Structure 1
Amino acid sequence: MSIKISSLAKKLGLKTPDLKKQIKDLGFEIPKNATEIEDDLADLILSEFENPKEEEKITEEVSENQSEASIYEEIYEKTLEKEIIKSQRKLTAGKERKISDESVTKEEEELIDLPKEALKIPSIISVKEFSEKTGVSAAKIIGELMRNGILASINQEIDFETASIIAEEFNISIKRIRDEASLEDMMEGNLENLLKEDDKSDLQERPPIVVVMGHVDHGKTQLLDYIRNTKVIAQESGGITQHIGAYAVEVQGKKITFIDTPGHEAFTAMRARGAKITDIAILVVAADEGVKEQTIEALNHAKEAKVPIIVAINKIDKERANIDKVKAQLAEQGLQPEDWGGQTICEPISALTGDGVNKLLEDILVVAELENLKANPNRPAVATVIEAHLDPSLGPTATIIVNTGTLKIMDNVVIGGTHGRLKVMKDSRGKKLNKIGPAQCAQIAGIDETPYSGDILQVVPDEKTARRQAQQIKDLIGLKNRKTTGMGIDEIIARINEGKMKTLKIILKADTKGSLEAIKQALSKVKNEQVAIQSIHSGVGQITESDVLMAAASKAIIIGFHAEANHNVKKLAERENVEILRYEIIYQIVDELKKLLTGLIEPEIVEITLGKLDIKGVFLTKKKEMIIGGKVTEGKIEKKSKFKLLRKGEEVGRGEIQELKLVDKAVNEVEKDKECGLKVNTSNPIQIGDILEVMGFEKRFKSL
């Protein structure tokens, strides 16, 4: 049904052109030559042009003998009744059956075709999209927004909180879509936050993601090559092997995804950017050489990442192989082998002949089952970049592993500060893929710029959203990187306090083994019940880029005793915001760390006086609520602050300031020598001449 615009204009006492302008102001585009509009829109306009003197009529109905408070209450109730009637009329506008202004019966409500189940709504949605999802006309939605003090056009976006208020007005249940990554989590690579919102009922078993680590020349690459060449998934075989940083194999009908990156530095680089994507670490140790410096370093990286470790004792075919010696060395580093009564799987293998490799793969499946690895394949994908480069023919490309959801060809994606539409997706054999699910890997192309290792990929609805979010992430990264590069103790304390850390993690480097042991012993005496120093890695020699990456990943600081850092290491530390503190005397290290720990100690919460207010008037008293006036005589008073009520110098009660007004303006605080009005919550009656002592709370740190 429709109504002539001229008839509606006449009814409202407006000229037709003026009414058309009002309609456009509401966000509706109508043709210049339109002569009619829909009934729903007409009803909405009528509801907004009701008699402006309605409130005066209500006031006239109130008895002159009533008190001011009861008059206000009755006016409020009558106005509320009118608003309810108006809202009900809007709810049923445009229905064939006429519903009176006075009430809406249960039978009449059933005529309104509203969704019965909770609708999934994104964090941001336009009025038009909200209308399409709910089945409620845009006119009614805009009307409800106006009634809640929000002026919005049909194309304007509203947040989820606003949408939920409007949905409640129409008895519609909505639920936030939790598939969308927050920009901060994407920037920080916080996969834990990105993945935790999935409903448990949606989760399905997924393959484990495995990284292989160890000392140089102990056989990492040889092991990966053997597995790739003998266990590659059948459908991927037949092509030319391409190094894409990750690949999948099949064992006993189950898949395992291996990250194929050189050394543990790449693994740590991803962790330094926040990406915690691996489920299991394989630590390769040569049976003829045993545990080496890089073995310990890789072990510490894996421990810090909190991933299960399986040890592959490689090169058992060598004459000088000594498996028991390797196990003893591992036990010294805290990895007690299973056959020695510990919990660490130690599998003797030969990556050259293949001996023990099948058993190693079976061990991975056993550990994966214990880890209960699951993901939701039925949602837009979240993935992590393993490596990226500029391809001469494809342009910017990236190797990614899907963490959750399903990634499809032609998906619009955001990756860190760049975006694009996936036009190419290939496996490790160069075969084109249409989609991949959780823990699967692929090389992708179609993005605007080359991303970084550890960047998070998120599928978004359209190109416009992708472009906007990529720019927002760039802006966030710019803000994050706009910081000083000073190495001062004060800056370290501030950063630790902001991070709410209870443990100070350090990496120790010294010129000799004797110095290293002396420093460890001295630091073991610096103790406190609430704070601890944890040495996550130590070694003899210069400070390296690997040390910096580990510190960045673990939020640790580096302490060097007669240990230098070259120019490249310093530049990396500056970029990653890692503190390198170098000392010549051991006791200076202890003193400086004590200062750092002071910033970590649990603060003592101390009650302080913010200000005082002299009560000059008491205007309205209700149960537990009062409206008062007064003058600030000391300090300042703040909204939502607690207060003590003082009478003749003695405390007679306590309460909280609910609202503050300076003249007619609502404010958050009032300073000394200014008069103000307050709405307070207290169970103790306030009298003229009382003093409000407004309280605040301050954190104070103790020294060790």
Structure 2
Amino acid sequence: MAKDLKLNIKNAQIAQALKKFNKKPTPIKKAKPKQKEKDVREPTTIKRKARILPPEEKEKKPTEEEKKEAEKSKTVKNTIEKEPLEKEVKETDEIKLAKEEPVAEKPAIKEEKPAKEKEEPKPNVLAAKTAEEEAKKKPKSYKDFKAAKKPQTFRAFDTRDRLGLRSYEDERWRKRRYFKSKKIKSSIEVLRPKSLKVIIPITIKDLASAMKLKASELIRKLFLQGITLTINDYLNDETTIQLLGHEFDCEISIDVEEEKRLQITDLTIKEEISNTPKEDLTTRPAVITFMGHVDHGKTSLIDAIRLSNLANQEAGQITQHIGAFTAKTKFGPITILDTPGHEAFTEMRSRGANVTDIIVLVIAGDEGIRDQTIEAIKQAKDANVPMVVAINKSDKVGFDQEKIYRSLADRELLPEAWGGTVITINCSAKTKEGVDELLEMLSLQAEILELRADPKARARGTILESEMHKGLGAAATVLVQNGTLKTSDAIVFSDKYGRIKTLHDQFDNIVDSAGPSMPVMITGLSSLAEAGSEFVVVENEKIAKDLADARKEKMKLKSLQKAKPFSLESLEKKEKKTLPIILRADVQGSLEALKTSLLKIKSDKAELSIVSAEVGEISESDIRLASASKSVILGFHTKIESHAESLIKQLKVIILQHNIIYHAIDEIKELMRSTLDKLEEFNDIGKAKVIAVFKSSHLGLIAGCLITDGIVKRNSFVRIIRDGKEITKTKISSLKREKEDVKEVNKGLECGIVLENFSDVQNEDIFEAYDITYIEQEL
């Protein structure tokens, strides 16, 4: 169609050109243009309307016919004069313009070029085309693209949009791109502190943050000093922290205010008493601790002083708890602490030595100084406590006073009888001989020490023992060393606290208060107290709880620091047999002694694993725990809850109960030994030689043998020897002689032997019969 249109236009143009060639065109008057047109456009065949001139323009307007004739003459002339290529370009442009501006449109007023402009030289069509093509090649601006977008059709939001199945052309749901603006890095100078106060222990991360440094810088400095730590490791060495501060020009000091707050006071009880004005101090009873070896008569001697019968009340007639009593003598009141003599109760003896004023070292005159006696002497020297030696059992045969003097002198304790300073008293708990003399010497020693305390001060003292009391809950036996302890006082001990509900004296009577040197049992504690810890009274229960929580947090940090790092050596160690055990005791001190003694059991083949260790009766939860962990329950001086008996039978849990500590230790050792694998011992009993081989449909292969040595039994183990080499080991399943089953066959006799799981029997094979015995290993 375009081709036909082009030919039609061409024919019309030629016809008009021939018509003009024959007829002269009407001359048109020239008019001077007021302004020169800047853009020169190519002439087109599209009809243009005459320009309407303003009123002031006086020039004669050309008629419509003249304008049409002029336009046609221009088109024909250009068509004839130009080259064919130019004609084609011109004609193409004319077609495009004809398409763009259809004739049917509403006529518009358009400007007419001045006459002068029409007579100017014709523009170069090729140059104009080249300029137009270059303009087309230029990239369009963003606004052009935006204008070219198709109008969007809005649709409802449905599942396709959520699943990303919407058509790509629908740009409504297309993810927009946002270009992030570049962040301008600005160098800000960090002001580091010149001085700093820190609380130890502190992590490297926290220290670096306080010093306005990167943690890697501190780690690098420590690494150069030969210390390898990570960002979360704790520093608790003041020198190391101050060295790091010096490296970065920061003076670091340790903040001890929090430590003082947690300690409540940095003064010891003796220092607090010495700083108290003398007019506020009063004389207090002496605290006397009886120490010595087991069965040397410590408790019997206390009974002689108190006129009591404590010795017969103890299991095995040995003391296994620390006892605290007050006694009124003709020389004045005294407080007595009785400590166990067994080696397992070292910690108890140590506590007694630390809170006492005078130590009475009890030595049996017929036995002399023993292991626990030597230990007691060392503890007395370490605590710097004066000592009085009571040589007991003076009424027994074999009493040797001089031998004991020599033993004391060998340990730098020179008796007064030999010109030394150590007071020695010969006495007998049974006949009460020398008891009054002993009390007199203790009274004189107390006067020399000038024992005083301030009863009006806040109470301070030491926890001697703690237990879970039925009906009262957590209870503790305490010794008040300064001040007066009253009901409803809030106390802090270790990382625990409490508010005292009741005070009980040695006869279990409830009292309102307890003064210096008075032992009492207290109730109302948040949990079991740790024996040996110090207690102090604070303003109220809230302060006590806050202090206990803060101490607990600090103790947790210390435990993290002491945690042993993982090492490959632990993996390389030979695996041991483990006996899991659950411990229950009546009091904290006994539990501590039992636990310490059990952990002292050393063996390369077996070890103990303490699953749980608590004070109180054996409960249902303990039995369930033992069943789940396959543990043995050991109860020391404690009972089983009445309603737990049926559960024990159901879960088949092993429970051991003892009242004497060394019996408990011996039984645990025996259980540890039973966990070890038994050793096999091979005993040769006889030999048999195969002389014939038979086959049986019922028994299989039967070896006809001659017993050449010893005896061969049914179910004996045998080694099969062929050509001097052992082939295999098996067992005799059947032994026959003359078609009869027999238990054994002696040397020189023939028999038939059937072996288990072995059918390759040949003539001349040798059967070596042996028995296996199993021997228990020793720890």
Which TM-score applies when normalising by structure 1? 0.41
Point out which structure has higher relative CO (alpha carbons under 8 A, 6+ apart).
1
Larger Rg: 2
